[in-house]
């Protein structure tokens, strides 16, 4: 019998929709058919969500991943017991939740680094709450990089044929240009090229977005394309990588939807994620490239406005777990 990969699913913000999309993923997708899923979080919260949704699922709390776990119709939870009863209310962010999410992530990384689990899939967190709780990270990606010692890493979102990796992530727009430099762009191109092995694409065609409108229009609208981005392209081509010149993003993404490119390198957060989410919001998967462990995540946030109402869509969570399981084949 082929051993199925063990996927550790962090519960995310307990006040958000993380618990709901996790429980629905177990119920709808029959996760045990392609992996051995285990939730890292709070067993009482998961149990409460099962009851709220009126699903026929058992919740089993444990302190470690066990060989005798039952997976059919069962949610196994590595129970950190870090939430007091009545402390968290759906839809209302609080500092206790901010600390809890960091505990879940740290435990998941520990298990992955010790080869106890094969990959991590994360439910959404609230960056503001995490920072207010004393953990000054811009998001999951930066925390995971610090915990694993990763130096060169990137955030990629994928759905169907459209895959986007970002040169910069969570920055104020006014700060983006000074972070666009030859070394950073070059490293992101390398990460894009590396990431495609998980999609069975050995020699990817990489589309590179310009920073400025019309790729700077011959330096009329900015010089970053000439001074920083094109030198990175030339260096990457010297490594045998198929990457375009910096190209206007408005046409680049249009061509990508028709299969002209296997992956797009975008310069900043909204440049890359607006077109992807326009086409695939709720179905895309967030993948952190460059970590020594596998990590996927949903493409959405905590959605406090619908938390606890039973209406959250689990599609992105299901796809994220499936991709994490698939990625374990190529490590």
- State the pLDDT at residue 13: 95
Q: What is the pLDDT of residue 2?
A: 60
Cβ-based burial of 128 (10 A; exposed 0-12, middle 13-18, buried ≥19): exposed
From first to last of the 331 residues of the chain, give the pLDDT tens digit.
Answer: 468 999 999 999 999 999 999 999 999 988 999 999 999 999 999 999 999 999 999 999 999 999 889 999 999 999 999 988 778 899 998 888 889 999 999 999 999 999 999 999 999 999 899 898 888 888 888 999 999 999 999 989 998 878 999 999 889 999 999 999 999 999 999 999 999 999 899 999 999 999 999 988 889 889 999 999 999 999 999 999 999 999 999 999 999 988 899 999 999 999 999 998 888 887 899 999 999 999 999 999 999 999 999 999 999 999 999 999 999 998 7
Work out the number of other CB atoms within 10 angstroms of the CB of residue 194. Answer: 15
Q: Which residues on neighbouring strands pair with residue 247, listed in sequence order?
A: 209
pLDDT score recorded for residue 186: 98
Q: Where are the beta strands (DSSP E) in 200-307?
A: 205-208, 242-243, 263-266, 285-289, 295-298
pLDDT on residue 251: 92
Name the token pair of 161. Answer: 């044929």
Please report the DSSP string for 48-110 in residue order: HHHHHHT---EEEEESS--TT---TTEEEEEE---S-TTS-BTTB--HHHHHHHHHHHHHHHH
Phi, psi for 192 (deg, rounded to 5): -60, -45
pLDDT of residue 139: 80
Q: How far apart are CA 246 and CA 297, in angstroms?
A: 28
Structure confidence at residue 37 (pLDDT) = 97
Beta strand segments in the chain, E = 6-10, 36-41, 58-62, 74-79, 119-122, 154-159, 162-166, 205-208, 242-243, 263-266, 285-289, 295-298
> pTM to 2 decimals?
0.92
3-state DSSP call for residue 28?
helix
Q: What is the pLDDT of residue 134?
A: 87
């Amino acid at each position: 019998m082929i051993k199925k990969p063990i996927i550790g699913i962090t519960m995310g913000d307990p006040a958000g929709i993380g618990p709901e999309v996790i429980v629905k993923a177990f119920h709808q997708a029959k996760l045990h058919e392609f992996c051995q899923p285990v939730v890292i979080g709070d067993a009482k919260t998961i149990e409460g969500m099962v009851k709220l949704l009126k699903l026929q699922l058992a919740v089993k709390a444990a302190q470690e991943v066990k060989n005798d776990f039952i997976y059919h119709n069962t949610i196994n939870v590595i129970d950190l017991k870090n939430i007091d009863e009545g402390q968290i209310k759906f839809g209302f962010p609080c500092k206790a939740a901010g600390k809890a999410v960091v505990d879940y992530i740290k435990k998941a990384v520990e298990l992955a680094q010790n080869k106890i689990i094969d990959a991590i899939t994360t439910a959404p967190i609230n960056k503001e709450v995490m920072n207010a709780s004393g953990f000054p990270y811009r998001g999951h990606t930066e925390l995971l990089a610090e915990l694993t010692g990763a130096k060169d890493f990137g955030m990629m979102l994928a759905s169907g044929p459209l895959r986007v990796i970002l040169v910069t992530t969570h920055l104020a727009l006014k700060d983006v240009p000074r972070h666009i430099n030859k070394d950073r762009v070059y490293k992101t191109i390398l990460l894009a090229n590396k990431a495609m092995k998980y999609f069975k694409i050995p020699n990817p065609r990489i589309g590179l977005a310009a920073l400025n409108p019309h790729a700077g229009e011959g330096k009329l609208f900015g010089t970053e394309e000439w001074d920083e981005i094109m030198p990175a392209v030339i260096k990457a081509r010297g490594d045998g990588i198929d990457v375009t010149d910096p190209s206007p993003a408005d046409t680049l993404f249009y061509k990508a939807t028709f299969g002209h490119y296997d992956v797009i390198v975008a310069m900043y957060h909204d440049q890359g994620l607006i077109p992807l989410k326009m086409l695939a919001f709720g179905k895309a998967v967030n993948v952190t490239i460059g970590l020594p462990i596998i990590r996927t995540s949903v493409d959405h946030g905590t959605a406090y406005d619908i938390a606890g109402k039973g209406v959250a869509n689990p599609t992105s969570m299901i796809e994220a777990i499936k991709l994490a399981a698939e990625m374990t084949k190529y490590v």
